């Protein structure tokens, strides 16, 4: 390596990363350094051109960096060629893990040991009868030392069979005393240079010498550090080598419940230095030297232990709140197969919503929308999600696919086809003719498309009306000829499973052309979805999902119309819709739309970080100014600042409030005293003015940095960031951590009216409102937990009739009902005991926490001091405030939903049972209108405001808007007779009716979902993605008339 003042010269890392390939940079080719600023490039180049560098291998000095680098490279290449190949491997094996303090000492040791040791293939000099003969070592035989009968010891020696260089036919047998090496080919200097080129050493004390990885792999040298050398390694590196053991989980388990082993483990880890090379926590130091161990540091040592080494605490396990698994799916298999897909899809749509022109939405809204089965309910969220994804596949200008399709599988050619040349030739000719015909058709279609585009420029609305009339006429014609088409296709291609082929070319217009024109309305995007799924059905991974979706969307039981495609989508099960969305997201993830957005975010992140760095520099300068002003102000108050009277704080009830009030009072008195002095003393006025301006500027910079941090969080869209792992290698995710566009100000939810929310959209203040927990990977479960995910989870731990916990395999009592541990627990048994019903066995298992007290309980459970859990606890505490706000916002949102539903139920109950309360003995039969119709016609908002629950309803977020229900408004009038029931029977009837209405409310989509608005698309396009199609509703109504 090149040296500068006896120190290695490392290339300087770039100050900022290049965000675009078009960015102009200045490069130093010899070091691969690049600079965005010409001044930085010139300064670095000027440094390299100084004659202050030296070559480490040759020792030459007074060189420029480039001269020294060239000398180093030339010497290293020459060295490797010059150094004897037969000596390289044995020398490196002797040097591996050597603890010599200096490289010169190591070279001396190896050189001395090789004086009388030679290796096959090596060129040596044989001394025979005062002659020096050059020869090759062919074979080598070593003989151990022998003790003779008289007690003398015959030392060990070696015999060699050598072949002379000048006379290859001549061979001789010699011992090691007759051999020597040529001084030109093997010297100490050459050996030192070779060792310096091939060895490295860690930066910690007493680190052994190790062969560089490329040479170790070349000569198959073991790189696993011996255990006796691990004592001085940093703890994280030691953990890595322990984890490479064949049964790492057994080691952890062995020490987890054995107090003696635990104590010994704590003692041995006490001397472990940290990564900086300092002594471990258990090693006291005196004047820079290691002193006696202190017993006070035992607690500190325990914090650096492996999590599973810490003993099992049954009381802590009993206090731990269970992980919630949710009830979205009906079976464990279904939950494992689709929970990850559900989360991935929602994250993708929210992170890349900006390029997709899709406004953000909560996870609960997404689940409610994708589970909707009533096609009579218009769900803008469901429409906009699919329209945004489909719009990214084909652009609005050209009829071409914008996404990269997976490669098609290679079709193998059979031996019969290879032997039949004539058949292949005829087939190729037929295919070429078909291609030509298709090309002619495509050209005709392209001409028609161009003509249509020219006509649309002048008469867009007339074309839309004509197009709609043609569609209706052809729908009727298709209904009549559908059976004939099916029979013909069955005869030609075999049994059909769907009408996908007819939908792809619906009304002789390809689905890509419909997508280009954004014809999404009234079943349009469902028909386009059929075309996309048919296009990617060849992908083996997606073929089954595509087949099932096409059988539903383009069912043989329905006619080939847009409305039938729309009906088919709403008949698809929730899980199948989810898998279809996953296919669309994977197609778009590799598209130029997403890639360009990521590049733009990287570029913006660089700009934001640069601005943040400048503001941080300004903050440090302001801090120095404020600190200097504070010191100067103290000189004007030699007796100190005024102290508030104690009577002012007597009204406060708690010590915390008293302390806060006291500090606030002291601060106010200090400011008043400074203001008064500044009005009288001109010199102090200057200091006070500088301090005040600096303080105000400091607050502005701090607030600006907070906004920049939020912006960096939004721009960080490349990958999700995991919070960490717990003791059982469960992974913790907070999906609002990065890449999300989530409102931070809760006041935005309540200040505007419903009309504004319908036009501009509303930020709910949260996106997920949950902390998700993912189970361990298969490798982590197998290596660390000794667990096979295929095991029966219910038989891991069994609770006996006495309340004890026993092993499901052996039946032995593991933990008594009082919490006493009776036997060593395997890691997965501990995991089962602590997680119980929320047991996460593999990566496909997901659970969550959605309450603040659950997070507090989790932090308490994590506070035992294991390595992973310390890091995880730190990460959760860093986002704790934002996480709590998200959970609280979600809870308030759902409570407002429930309050709104209860208000509707109360109103309907009041209307239905109003006659019973008013008549009181009247025997006449009366007719009454349906209560729900009256309520909807007259408007229930005023009645709800008079109800005793009006406070809860008014607290509902501003995007909650009532939506009339068709079924309720169209019910026939109901007859009500005189009530001859007792008050108890009336109350029972009311309660039964209330429960019935509650079940109906649960099955319907919430109003918050149907009132969602894609404000991002409206702001940029002037309309939603679903309404992009030129033909509008009024035109369609006029045609029907």
pLDDT in tens, 928-954: 444 443 343 344 444 434 344 433 333
Phi first, then psi, for residue 832 (nearest 5°) are: -65, -40
Alpha-carbon span 766 to 360, nearest angstrom? 10
- pLDDT value at residue 659: 57
DSSP, residue by residue, 961-1008: -----HHHHTPPPEEEPPP---HHHHHHHHHHHHHHHHHHHHHSPPHH
- pLDDT value at residue 394: 92
Q: Which of 152-166, 453-467, 908-922 has the highest mean pLDDT?
A: 152-166
Q: Quick check: 558 pLDDT over 80?
A: yes
Phi first, then psi, for residue 10 (nearest 5°) are: -100, 145
Q: Quick check: 641 pLDDT over 70?
A: yes
Q: Quick check: 350 pLDDT over 60?
A: yes
Alpha-carbon span 858 to 9, nearest angstrom? 48
Interval 366-417: pLDDT, tens: 999 999 988 888 999 999 999 999 999 998 888 888 898 888 876 544 444 4
Q: Quick check: 547 pLDDT over 80?
A: yes
Q: Quick check: 574 pLDDT over 50?
A: yes
Q: Quick check: 212 pLDDT over 50?
A: yes
Q: Quick check: 326 pLDDT over 70?
A: yes
DSSP, residue by residue, 689-700: HHHHHHHHHHHH
Whole-number CA gyration radius for the chain: 40
- pLDDT value at residue 470: 56
425 and 433 Cβ atoms separated by less than 8 Å? no
Name the pTM for this structure.
Answer: 0.60
Parallel, antiparallel, or unpaired: how do β-strands 131-143 and 123-128 relate? antiparallel
Residues of the chain with pLDDT > 70, as a percent, come to 72
Alpha-carbon span 161 to 172, nearest angstrom? 6
765 and 749 Cβ atoms separated by less than 8 Å? yes
Interval 670-694: pLDDT, tens: 888 888 888 888 888 999 899 999 9
Across 79-88, 432-441, 712-721, least confident range? 432-441
CATH of domain 83-239: 2.30.30.140
Alpha-carbon span 61 to 65, nearest angstrom? 10
Alpha-carbon span 582 to 561, nearest angstrom? 26
Q: Quick check: 860 pLDDT over 60?
A: yes
CA distance between the termini of the chain: 87
Mean pLDDT of 1020-1041: 63
Rounded to 5°, angle at Cα 877 from 872 and 881? 140
How would you classify residue 428: left for phi > 0, otherwise alpha for psi between -120 and 50, otherwise beta? alpha
Q: Quick check: 115 pLDDT over 70?
A: yes
More confident residue, 498 or 952: 498
- The angle, 0 to 180 degrees and rounded to 10, between the axes of the packed helices 574-589 and 540-553 is 130
335 and 839 Cβ atoms separated by less than 8 Å? no
Q: Quick check: 9 pLDDT over 90?
A: no
Mean pLDDT of 812-823: 83
- pLDDT value at residue 411: 54
262 and 255 Cβ atoms separated by less than 8 Å? yes
Q: Quick check: 705 pLDDT over 90?
A: yes
What token pair was written down for 1020? Answer: 């940029």
Q: Domain residues of the chain, as ranges?
A: 2-74, 83-239, 332-399+497-597, 605-642+670-713
- pLDDT value at residue 655: 57
Rounded to 5°, angle at Cα 871 from 870 and 872? 90
């Amino acid at each position: 390596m090149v040296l500068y003042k006896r120190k290695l010269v490392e290339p300087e890392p770039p100050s900022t990363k290049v965000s675009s390939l078009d960015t102009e940079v200045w490069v130093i080719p010899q070091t691969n350094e690049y600079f965005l600023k010409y001044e930085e490039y010139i300064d670095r180049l000027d440094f390299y051109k100084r004659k202050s560098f030296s070559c480490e291998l040759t020792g030459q000095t007074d060189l420029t960096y480039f001269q020294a680098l060239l000398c180093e490279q030339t010497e290293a290449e020459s060295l490797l060629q010059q150094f004897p190949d037969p000596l390289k491997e044995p020398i490196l094996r002797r040097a591996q893990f050597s603890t010599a303090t200096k490289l010169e000492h190591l070279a001396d040791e190896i050189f001395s040991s090789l004086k009388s040791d030679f290796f096959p293939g090596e060129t040596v000099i044989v001394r025979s009868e005062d002659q020096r003969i050059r020869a090759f070592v062919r074979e080598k035989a070593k003989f151990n030392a022998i003790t003779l009968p008289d007690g003398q010891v015959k030392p060990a020696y070696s015999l060699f069979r050598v072949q002379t260089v000048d006379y290859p036919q001549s061979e001789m047998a010699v011992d090691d005393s007759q051999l020597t090496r040529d001084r030109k080919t093997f010297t100490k200097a050459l050996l030192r240079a070779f060792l310096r080129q091939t060895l490295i050493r860690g930066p910690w004390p007493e680190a052994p010498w190790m062969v560089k990885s490329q040479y170790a792999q070349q000569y198959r040298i073991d790189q696993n550090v011996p255990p006796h050398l691990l004592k001085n390694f940093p703890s994280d590196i030691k953990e890595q080598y322990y984890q490479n053991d064949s049964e790492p989980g057994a080691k952890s388990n062995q020490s987890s419940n054995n107090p003696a082993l635990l104590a010994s483990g704590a003692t041995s880890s006490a001397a472990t230095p940290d990564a900086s090379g300092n002594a471990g926590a258990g090693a006291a130091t005196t004047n820079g030297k290691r002193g006696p161990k202190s017993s006070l540091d035992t607690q500190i040592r325990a914090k650096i232990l492996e999590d599973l080494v810490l003993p099992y605490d049954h009381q802590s396990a009993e206090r731990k709140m269970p992980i919630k698994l949710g009830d979205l799916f009906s079976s464990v298999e279904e939950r494992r197969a689709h929970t990850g897909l559900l989360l991935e899809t929602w994250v993708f749509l929210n992170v890349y919503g900006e390029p997709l022109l899709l406004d953000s939405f909560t996870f609960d809204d997404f689940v409610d929308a994708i589970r909707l089965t009533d096609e009579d309910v218009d769900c803008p969220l469901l429409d906009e999600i699919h329209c945004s994804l489909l719009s990214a596949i084909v652009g609005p200008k050209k009829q071409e696919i914008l996404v990269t399709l997976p490669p098609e599988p290679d079709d193998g050619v059979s031996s019969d086809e290879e032997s039949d040349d004539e058949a292949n030739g005829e087939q190729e000719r037929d295919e070429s003719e078909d291609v030509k015909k298709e090309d002619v058709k495509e050209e005709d279609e392209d001409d028609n498309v161009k003509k249509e585009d020219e006509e649309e420029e002048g008469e867009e609305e007339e074309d839309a009306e004509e197009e709609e009339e043609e569609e209706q006429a052809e729908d009727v014609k298709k209904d009549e000829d559908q059976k004939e088409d099916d029979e013909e296709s069955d005869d030609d291609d075999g049994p059909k499973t769907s009408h996908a082929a007819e939908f792809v070319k619906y009304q002789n217009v390809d689905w890509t052309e419909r997508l280009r024109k954004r014809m999404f309305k009234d079943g349009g995007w469902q028909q386009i979805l059929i075309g996309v799924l048919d296009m990617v059905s060849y992908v083996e991974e997606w073929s089954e999902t595509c087949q099932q979706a096409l059988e539903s969307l383009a069912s043989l039981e329905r006619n080939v119309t847009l409305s039938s495609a729309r009906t088919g989508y709403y008949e698809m099960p929730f899980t199948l819709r989810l898998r279809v969305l996953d296919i669309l997201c994977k197609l778009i993830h590799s598209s130029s739309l997403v890639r360009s957005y990521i590049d733009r975010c990287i570029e913006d992140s660089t700009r934001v970080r640069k601005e943040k760095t400048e503001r941080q520099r300004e903050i440090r300068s302001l801090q120095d100014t404020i600190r200097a002003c504070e010191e100067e102000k103290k000189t004007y108050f030699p007796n100190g600042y005024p102290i508030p009277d104690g009577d002012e704080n007597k009204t406060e009830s708690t010590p915390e409030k008293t302390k806060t009030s006291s500090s606030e009072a002291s601060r106010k008195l200090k400011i008043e005293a400074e203001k008064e002095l500044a009005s009288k003393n001109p010199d102090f006025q200057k200091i006070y003015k500088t301090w005040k301006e600096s303080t105000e500027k400091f607050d502005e910079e701090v607030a600006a940095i907070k906004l920049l941090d939020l912006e960096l969080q939004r721009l960080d869209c490349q990958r999700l960031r995991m919070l960490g792992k717990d003791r059982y290698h469960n992974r913790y995710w907070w999906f609002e951590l990065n890449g999300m566009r989530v409102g931070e100000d809760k006041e935005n939810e309540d200040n505007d009216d419903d009309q504004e929310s319908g036009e501009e959209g509303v930020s709910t203040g949260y996106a997920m409102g949950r902390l998700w927990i993912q189970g361990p990977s298969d490798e982590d479960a197998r290596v660390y937990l000794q667990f096979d995910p295929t095991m029966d989870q219910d038989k891991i731990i069994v609770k006996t009739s006495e309340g004890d916990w026993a092993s499901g395999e052996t039946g032995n009592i593991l933990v008594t009902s009082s919490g006493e541990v009776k036997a060593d627990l395997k890691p997965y048994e501990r995991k089962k005991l602590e997680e119980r019903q929320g047991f996460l066995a593999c990566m496909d298992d997901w659970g969550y926490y959605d309450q603040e007290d659950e997070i507090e309980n989790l932090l308490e459970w994590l506070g035992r001091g294991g390595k992973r859990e310390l890091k995880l606890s730190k990460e959760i505490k860093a986002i704790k405030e934002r996480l709590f706000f998200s959970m609280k916002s979600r809870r308030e949102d759902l409570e407002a939903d429930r309050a709104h539903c209860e208000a509707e139920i109360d109103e309907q109950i009041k209307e239905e049972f109003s006659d019973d309360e008013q008549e009181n003995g009247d025997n006449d039969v009366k007719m009454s209108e349906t209560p729900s119709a009256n309520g909807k016609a007259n408007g229930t908002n005023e009645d709800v405001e008079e109800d005793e629950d009006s406070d809860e309803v008014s607290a509902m977020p501003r995007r909650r808007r009532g939506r009339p229900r068709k079924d309720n408004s169209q019910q026939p009038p109901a007859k009500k007779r005189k009530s001859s029931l007792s008050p108890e029977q009336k109350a029972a009837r009311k309660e039964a009716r209330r429960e019935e209405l509650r079940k109906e409310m649960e099955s319907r989509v919430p109003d918050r979902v149907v009132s969602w608005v894609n404000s991002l698309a409206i702001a940029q396009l002037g309309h939603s993605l679903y309404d992009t199609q030129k033909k509008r509703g009024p035109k369609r109504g006029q045609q029907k008339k």
